[in-house]
Each structure stands twice: as structure tokens, then as C-alpha cells.
Chains A and B, each alone.
Chain A
Amino acid sequence: MRARPAEYELAAPGTLSAVLSLLAQEPGEWLPIAGGTDVMVQYSAGRLPSRKLVSIWNLPELRRIETIGGKICIGAGCTYADLCDHDIVRREFSLLASAARWTGGVANQNRGTIGGNIVNASPAGDSLPALMVYDADLILVSAKGRRSASYSDFHTGYRKTRLAPDELVESISLDRRFSGYYAHARKVGARHAQAISKVCFAALGQLADGVVDDVRLAMGSVAPVPLRLSETERLVKGHRIEPELMRLASRTAAAEIRPIDDIRSTARYRAAVAGNLVAEFLERLSVRGRTI
């Protein structure tokens, strides 16, 4: 433990509006901390630059899941365990439920939050590719009010987002229109549990008369931001899934991403695995995708 607790302030105003007031008064001064599974690791290593933190853990306004009309609204303060346990998330947004079960171990799933995963903005965030393919919208909130932002371009660079210094992510809004899709997710890490992903993949697909009607592919840990594989999607849409298409899609995916060598893995490995995962998905889609 390399930090000195005496040097840190942690405020816990207890309501969302009180937290937002604090952020509005001193924008950029207070670091929000929810479950702490990222912040506390940096803190313990003596590598947390912020000395002022504000707790947003367990705020009822942020930790709830509601269905309104044709949408589901997931509070940013929901833990991974909250997501895994929710009936509709499990049934209709299985990519998110899978990612939640693969993040850390049980103890970290009980504290880590989906909002934290988003705002922390690590490209290795396991839930992020799922949010991309589900076309998530984020509801951002500040003392000034709410705004909506599409998740698709929320990440602007490595660990950078469009979140303003006085804002929090309040909730994630998803359209409930993906039940008919074939859903496939896979995380490749150094071991089966408690692993930071080397490649993290979420995919949805739909066939019509044997032809790909819609396909949505997103990947983490292969670029500075979680990436939607738009070129690969364009390549595949409107075609039958055949070995040659799968090979081409593999190569396109491998070329579309920007992986690096780091302490966990190599760029060339990530590229190869990315291509393999896309091919694997297409193969399964061709076998198990339902025709509309």
C-alpha cells in the first residue's frame, strides 16, 4: 500500500444532485469513485494523481434498471453482478451479461460498475464492445441538466471520452430490438478468469434468406479505443457466408484494428486472434443465425 490516506479527501454527499453540485462548483477537481475496482488499484500503487474523490457508490439514482417503452435503461452505478442477475439483460442483452461475468472475479463483479467501465475508458473494458453493437446511448447528467450522447463516438482517444468535467454518466439506454439476432461474445485473456483481455469481441448477426442482413462487430484491446469493425461489417453485409468470405472478413478485421505490443501480448497475435474470432462468429452465424 503505497498511498498515504491522510492526504486524500473522500466526500460522500449521498445524493446525485449533491454530487453534481460539487462537480459543478469545482469541475475537474473531484474524481468520482464508484466501486473502486480501478481507482483503488491505482491509489494503492501510489499512482493516483487526484487527491479529492467523491463517492458515487450505491447512489439509488444511478443503481437501477428500468424498462421504458421499447428501451431498457441501465443505471451507470449498476454493478456487473446487478447486470448478470437481471432477467431482461440476461435474455435480451446476453453480450452484456457475458461480459459482466467475465470481468474480474466475483468480488470485483460485486463492486465494479458499468459506468466505471465506460468512464475509465480502457480499451480493454470487457463490456464496451457489447455497448457498441447494441448501439447504446448514454444519458449524461450534470448540475445543468441532462444530455444524450451516442456511445459510438464517446471515446475520443486512449482513456479519453466526451464526458465534461462536471458530468457523470447517469445511465445507458438500449433499444430492446436485438432478441432476434444471433449473439456471440468471446474474451481472450491469459487465463479463464481474472484476466485483462488481450482481445475482447462482441457480435450480433442476422440472416435473411441465407444472406447476411445485419451484422455488428465490435472489439476491445485492439486499438486505443473500443472499435466497431465497420469495414468488416460492410464487407459481409448482403452476402452469403462462405469460406472465402470468412477468410476475407478475417483479413479485413485484422487490418482494420490497430493493436500494439504491450506487457500482456503482441500486436501480431492480437491481429491474428481478431481475424480468427470474426471467422468463428461468421461460421456460427451461418449455422445458427435465424432467418427473418
Chain B
Amino acid sequence: MNTNRIVGKSMPRLEGRGKVTGQALYVDDIVLPGMLFGATVRSRIPRGRITKITFGPGVDWNEFVIVSAKDIPGKNCIALIDDDEPCLADGKVNHPEEPILLLAHPDRRLLPQAVEAVSVEYEPLPAIFSIEESEQHSQIIWGADNVFKSYLIEKGDLDAVWERADYVVEGEYATGAQEQLYIENNGMIAAFDPQQGLTVWGSMQCPYYVHKSLVKLFNLPAERVRVVQTETGGAFGGKEDYPSMIAGHAALLAMKSGRPVKIVYDRMEDMAATTKRHPSRTRHRTAVSKEGKILGGEIEFAIDGGAYETLSPVVLSRGAIHAGGAYSWPSIRIRAKAVATNTPPQGAFRGFGAPQSLFALERHMDRIAQVIQLSPAEIRRRNFIKPGETTTTGQTVTEAIDLGKLLDRAMEISDYSAKKERFAKENRNSTRKKGIGLASFLHGAGFTGSGERFLSSVVGVEGCAEGSVRILVSSTEFGQGTNTVLCQIVAEALKVRYEDVSIARPDTQEVPNSGPTVASRTVMVVGKLVQSAALGIQQTLEASGLLGAIYSPEEFRAAVRAYVAKNGKLQALARYEQPEDIVWDEQKYRGSAYAAFAWAVYVAEVAVDLTSYSVSVDDFVALQEVGRVLNPVLAKGQIIGGIAQGIGFALYEKVIWQEGRMQNGQMTNYIIPTSADLAPIRVYFEELGNVHGAFGAKGIGELPMDGPAPAIINAVEDALGVPFRSIPLLPEDIFDAVANERERERFSPVAGDRR
């Protein structure tokens, strides 16, 4: 029961009015006096040495500012985890679209032709484009062996289980690249002043990531670099690290020209050149007893990171840790690796490795079910992790989660059993085959392991002269509700009105580093810190005698006014401290990987039209346990939006590669669902609370990305009896499988799965 006044209610979106009136300012809406426009000359080949650059005729090059790697004052890199990605190519290129030169001019319309007029000659080198090619080592393009990072997660005594297993079930699963497709393309404005330093404004998730990379690129002291987030039109991870690149580019042009410079990509450039979800390949080998209990398993998880390391080690980490899902594994060995190919570096996209490994696992569970001849629900029920048991990294589940009951409830809401039976009958005489499938999963919120401790986030809350309270965080709003929910938390904590709280624009000059806006951490981790800092203000006011133990919102405002008038400033900071019960061993990759897990069961009902081989999702039930719903409208919006992206991941969104370059970089040919393509999605929440999250909340931003794809493909297999193992699953793929009888696999235990 919700006893709070503000938390738990659908308070209106804080910055909503600007968005519905068109007054909100996104980076391309902003013009600075004397501003130039910038553009990027990019590699047309996947790998090679640059032998010559010619500035062609028909362009007055004197009017252009031209920047190359030689103009970089500091280190030519986009600093992230390691510094291997160049800001500008210096003599060699390792992927199509790699940035080589930058141009700027006052007339935006002259730039595309100028970019075309720069001709770059190369000595091509052989290039590799897939995980398999990378593994074969025919070309070593990164490090000693093309491997950015690898992890080994082990638990129990795996080698002993194969002997006593009644079944050994194998499967290989694959997921493709996915483009984040935020509707606002990447953009930045930079201005450089020899005294003040460098300022950038733009579309981004992580101001301090951009700050850190600019400091290194320009060799400037931290206080002479300022990064400001503008209203951001969608991100989903696609603006976690790439903004550092485009900011660096705009800043270099600004420095060289002495004028502000704006770079905004058009859709074709953004799609072809920026990060996408890592393609993946997962191999499962699972030992199962005839009672349907998992005894142990081996999982090989590989992701394609593109040409440079960027965030791949972290995506790999999350994917590897989630590879065992919501089940109890008495023993397991997870071998995970991120490999290099000559494609534009991949990056963060909602879910961050978990959608990939969970797709494989949830498909594999259905396969195990078939081999053992149990239902998909029953195989899961018998293996769900229970309170007191440990995850694949040895983390004990301490909360009272009952996945069996969650499954029951999801099945009841979706009418799963009755529909499954009915579809099986009706399909015999129909060219529209129906199926129903489910996925059960979890998603860890916050940074992995020691990550939050390493981030050591700081937040501030301050009193304003007129009595209101302002939140100071570097956490950004890009549609998910950061502004609104953080203000709700403070208003609730201080017992003031929602209208009495505001939040500062993320500007590194004004706000402390509360960490990046990623990993579903903002409400849970940052929110809890913000709650602390707010209470800090309250304590200061009480201690000063200006505020009693019980007060009205008006009295609070008066106290703030009085304090600020007398002392000039009222501010409290709060810094993250790792809770004692979260212990992680980075070397062995064991321990408490996440402060909290959210849990879910999703059910997808599909119809496959055998005239066109298209799949439609006719009903979708999403049931999740999320700690606490702090804002019902926003929470529901997050879940539905994530599911829509998951449906795209499963059925629509294919990146067509040729020689490492995306061929379908236009909205006409990269297909996401329209409003006419999505049936109603039914969303239900359960709340177990969370001691580590603000008001009991867990992170939910990425959870909805994990379940849709496997639930849908499980449903398609239910409809057609064909086991699809890779996504996206397009009508053309369904046709090829249905048409070719020889590719249909049989699942009788006799055919090799039984020991």
C-alpha cells in the first residue's frame, strides 16, 4: 500500500511542457553567434594504410577549416576504458567510416560536397568481419589475438556432472547487430576560448565521460573543460560513449578556427558510423537429469566488438553474468570473449549484453524442455533459483522472490495453457499458425561488482534563494524520467511539494559526478544518494534552529530562504558507499555482481501468416517484480518502450553488412515497428522492495529488453514446429526454413541428445 504522497504517483513529467510545445531545445535548435558547421571525412575501406589525401577541385579550400590528427594537442584517443580508439585516423584505418579529417565552414550546405571532394587513397589490408573470422586468426587486427577481453566464470564441479547426466543438450544461438535509432541524431556544439577553455553542449548520456575524454584529447586541466547536456532526443545507450568522439571533433574544429562549431549528423551518417548492439554467438552444453533438473552446463559467449575496444569488456561482463539467467546452476563454466572485427566499434544498447545471452538461454531452455519432454513452463519451474540459493557468480538471493508464482501469474494473465492447447488444434487447418511462448529472466541493476564503488558517485542537493530545492547530479534525462523521479524522491523525502523541487541542467561546471546515466542505476543508486543529500539539507536546517521536527512545505521554504539569506549557501552532498553485503572478487569474477535484480516473466502470443511468412505479435504480457514503482505512468512507458525495441530486435531490425559497412542506413530500409505494427502490450508490476534503492526501487530501464525476443521466438517455434536459433527472424528466414524440409530438426531424445 502506498503511503507516500508523491513517490508512487504519476507526477507529470518535469520537463514535459517544453516537449509538447516544441520549446525544448535540442542541440540542432541552438545557434551561437559566429558559429561554423562541421563535417567528417571518413574511411571508405575496412582496413588499410592511408597513402595520399587530395583536396579536389571545385571547392575553395581557403574558406574551410581543416583538422587532422596532427592538430590534436593531447593524446589522439577517445579515452574510455583503454585508449585504443583514435579520435582521428593517423595513417591507418581499421573500419569503414573511421574518421580521418574534419572540415568546417560557415555555410552548412557546402559541407557535403566538400566531404565528397576530399579523396583519400589507401593501400588496403585484408579485413575480417565476423566472430568466426576473428577467431580463425587469419588476420590479427587487435592486440595479440583479436580478443579485447575474456572472462571465465566457474561454479561447482562441472566436469563431474557429464557422467551422471541423463541428457546432454547442446545448442548454438546468435543475435545480430541492432541500431539504437534514437530519433534525434548525434550532435555537438563546441566553443574554445584560450582563457576560459573548452565548452561543449550536446546530446549525451554521460557528461563526465565526455569531460574525461576531452581532458585527455586536449591535455587541458579538468576545470578548463566544461560539458553541458542539451535536451536529448533518445539515447538507449547509443549516446553513452559516442558523444565523446563527436564532441572531440567539434572541439578540435572550434580550437583551430577560434569560432564555435556545430556538428550534427544526418541519419545516414549516424547509422553507418556510430555504435550498435554487439552481435553475439552463444553455445550451450547442458547436463540435465531425467527429472528435468539442470546439473550443470558450459556456456561459450562471444560478442563482436568492432575495430576498437570501447565498452566491449563491460558489455561482455554483463552478458556473461546474465548467461545463466534466473535458474539455479549447481555447476557452471561460462567462457566469454569479446573479439575484434573491421567494423565500426559496437557500443551500449539497452540491456548491454544481457539481451544477447538471455536470448540464447531462454531458447535453450525450450530446447531442453523438448528433449526431456517437459513443457517450457515446467522445465523452468523445476530450475528457478530460490531465496537462499546462489547465482552463477555465487551471489546469494536474499529477497523473497518466488519465480514459480511469478510464472503462474503470467501464465494465468495470458491464458497460456488454454491458448497453447487451442492453437495446436486450430493450426492443423489454418494458414495462420498461432503460437505462444514465454521467457523468464532477471536483470541486475547498477554497475557490476565493484563498479559502483569505483564510480564513487557524488550528488548534491541545494537550497535556492527563493526557498525551493535543487538537485545537482550529472545524471541525464533522455526520456526515461530522470528529472521527474529524482524530484519526486526529494519532494517525498523532505515532505515538500513536487513543485518545490527542481533539478539543475547537467553541466560539469555546476554539478558533481553522479556517474553515467546507464546500467539502470539512476533511480536506484543515484536516487538513493539524492534522498540522502536531501535529508542532509533537512538536518542542516533543523540544526540551525530554522526548522522544527514537523513542518509544512511553506515553513520549509521559509527556512531555506532564511538560511540562504544568512549563510549564502545551503548544500549537502552525498557520496556512494558500497553496502557491506555487496562483496565482489574482480579476479575470480565471483561474488555479489549486482546490488539488486529485477525479475520477470514475459509471454508472447504470435501468429505466423503462411502466405507472407510474417510474424505478428497478437498479445504480449509483461509481468515484472521491480522493487517499487515510483511513477506508474513513467514505469509503464519504460516497459512498453523497451518491449517495442525487443520486438524490433526479434522480428524487424536487421543490419545488412557488406565489407564491414551498414548498407541499409536509412529509415526506409532499417525497419522498426510503426504504431500499426504493435498490438497492445499488457504490463503488470509486483513490488518486493529493495533495501539498496531509493524508496525500494530497482532499476527497470533495461529489464524489458531481455524478455521479448526469446518469448517471441519460442512462440514462433510453438506455432511452426521449427527451431529458429538466430535473430532477427525475418519472413524470408521463415520461408527458407519452412520450404526446406531437410532443415527441420527432430527432437526425439533418440537422436543423439540422450546419454
Complex interface: stretch among A10-18, A75-83, A184-192: A184-192
Min CB distance B490 to A, Å, is 42
CA–CA, A273 to B614, complex, Å?
11
Q: Which one of B112, B652, B664, B676 contacts A2 once the chains associate, using CB atoms below 8 Å? A: B112
**Chain B contacts with A in 673-696, Cβ cutoff 8 A:** 673-677
- B739 partner residues in chain A, CB cutoff 8 A: 268, 272
Residues of A within 8 A of B656 (CB): 263
Could you tell me the distance in whole angstroms from the C-beta of B130 to the nearest C-beta in chain A? Answer: 20
Residue of B with least CB distance to A280: B611
Q: A263–B674 contact, CB under 8 A?
A: no
- Contact indicator B674/A192 (Cβ below 8 Å): yes
Q: Is A165 an interface residue (CB 8 A)?
A: no
The answer on a CB contact under 8 Å between B109 and A190 is no
Whether the Cβ atoms of A4 and B113 lie closer than 8 Å is yes
Q: How many Å lie between the Cα of A168 and that of B521 in the bound state?
A: 61
B375 on interface, CB distance cutoff 8 Å: no
Does the CB pair A188–B663 fall under 8 Å?
Answer: no
Interface majority SS (helix, strand, loop, mixed), chain B: loop
Q: Assess whether B110 is in contact with A191, with CB atoms less than 8 Å apart.
A: no
| Closest beta carbon of chain B to A10's beta carbon, Å | 16
Contact check, B612 vs A45: say whether CB atoms are below 8 A apart. Answer: no
CB distance from B742 to the nearest CB of A (A): 16
Q: How far is the CA of A280 from the CA of B432 in the complex (A)?
A: 12
* B677 lies within 8 A of A193 (CB): yes
Whether the pair A1, B266 counts as a contact (CB closer than 8 A) is yes
B652 touches A45 (CB 8 A): no
Question: Is the CB of B398 closer than 8 A to any CB of chain A?
Answer: no
Q: Does A266 contact B (CB under 8 A)?
A: yes
- Interface residue B404 (Cβ < 8 Å from any Cβ of A): no
Choose among A4, A192, A196, A265 the residue that contacts B668 (Cβ–Cβ < 8 A).
A196
**Are A268 and B671 neighbours in the complex by a CB distance under 8 Å?**
no
A195 to B614, CA, bound (A): 14
Q: A263 with B664: in contact, given A6-B109, A191-B673, A193-B676 (CB under 8 Å)? A: yes
**Cβ of B145 under 8 Å from chain A:** no
Chain B interface residue count, CB cutoff 8 Å, equals 30
Contact with B along A187-223 (1 / 0, CB 8 A): 0101111111001000000000000000000000000
Q: Which residues of B contact A272 (CB under 8 A)?
A: 613, 735, 739
Contacting residues, chain B, for A2 (C-beta < 8 A): 112, 266
The reply to whether A4 and B109 form a contact with Cβ atoms under 8 Å apart is yes
Which B-chain residue is minimally distant from A273 (CB atoms)?
Answer: B612
- Whether the Cβ atoms of B266 and A263 lie closer than 8 Å is no
Q: With A and B bound together, what is the CA distance between A250 and B83 in angstroms?
A: 59
Interface size classification for chain A: 20 to 34
A13 to B673, CA, bound (A): 41
User: Is the pair A277, B611 in contact by a Cβ cutoff of 8 Å?
Assistant: yes
Q: Is A46 an interface residue when CB atoms closer than 8 A count as contact?
A: yes
Assess the A191–B671 pair: CB atoms within 8 A: yes
Decide yes or no: A269 and B664 within 8 Å by CB, A5-B109, A45-B268, A192-B676 being known contacts: no
Contact B109 A192 (CB under 8 A): no
Instruction: Say whether B732 faces chain A, with CB atoms less than 8 Å apart.
Output: yes
| Chain B CB within 8 A of A264 CB | yes
The answer to whether B611 touches A46 (Cβ under 8 A) is no
Question: CA of A6 to CA of B300 in the docked complex: distance in angstroms?
Answer: 57
Residues of A close to B109: CB separation below 8 A: 1, 3-6
Q: How far is the CA of A269 from the CA of B738 in the complex (A)?
A: 11
Q: CB distance B669 to A264 under 8 Å?
A: yes
The one of B113, B652, B674, B735 that contacts A194, using a Cβ cutoff of 8 Å = B674
* A1 to B736 alpha-carbon distance, docked (Å): 38
Residues of B within 8 A of A6 (CB): 109
Name B92-148 residues within 8 Å CB distance of A: 109-110, 112-113, 116
Whether, in the assembled complex, B330 has its beta carbon less than 8 Å from a beta carbon of chain A, the answer is no
Do A192 and B677 touch (CB < 8 A)?
A: yes
Whether the Cβ atoms of B674 and A193 lie closer than 8 Å is yes
Do B735 and A268 touch (CB < 8 A)? yes
* B677-A191 in contact (CB<8A): yes
Cross-chain contact of A46 among B112, B664, B676 (Cβ < 8 A): B112
Pairwise interchain contact B611-A276, C-beta atoms closer than 8 A: yes
The smallest beta-carbon distance between A166 and chain B, in angstroms, is 31
Interface contact A273-B676, CB-CB below 8 Å: no
Give B588-605 as 1s and 0s: 1 = Cβ < 8 Å from A's Cβ atoms.
000000000000000000
Q: Return chain A residues, CB-CB under 8 Å to B673.
A: 191
Which residues of A have CB within 8 Å of B401?
none
Asked, given contacts A191-B677, A277-B611, whether A263 binds B112 with beta carbons under 8 Å apart, the answer is no
Instruction: State in angstroms the CA–CA spacing of A249 and B611 once bound together.
Output: 15
Least Cβ distance of B617 to chain A in Å?
12
CB distance from A123 to the nearest CB of B (A): 16
- Residues of A at under 8 Å CB distance from B? 1-6, 45-46, 105, 188, 190-196, 199, 263-266, 268-269, 272-273, 276-277, 280
29 A-B pairs with CB atoms under 8 Å apart are: A1-B109, A2-B112, A3-B112, A4-B109, A4-B110, A4-B112, A4-B113, A45-B268, A46-B113, A188-B614, A190-B652, A191-B673, A191-B677, A192-B674, A192-B676, A193-B676, A195-B671, A263-B656, A263-B669, A265-B732, A266-B732, A268-B736, A269-B731, A269-B736, A272-B613, A273-B613, A273-B735, A276-B610, A276-B611
Beyond A2-B112, A188-B731, A268-B739, 17 additional pairs, beta carbon < 8 A: A1-B112, A6-B109, A46-B112, A46-B116, A190-B671, A191-B674, A192-B674, A192-B677, A193-B674, A193-B675, A199-B612, A263-B663, A264-B669, A273-B611, A273-B612, A276-B610, A277-B611
The 7 lowest CB-CB distance pairs between A and B, nearest first, are A2-B112, A192-B676, A193-B676, A276-B611, A269-B732, A190-B671, A188-B612
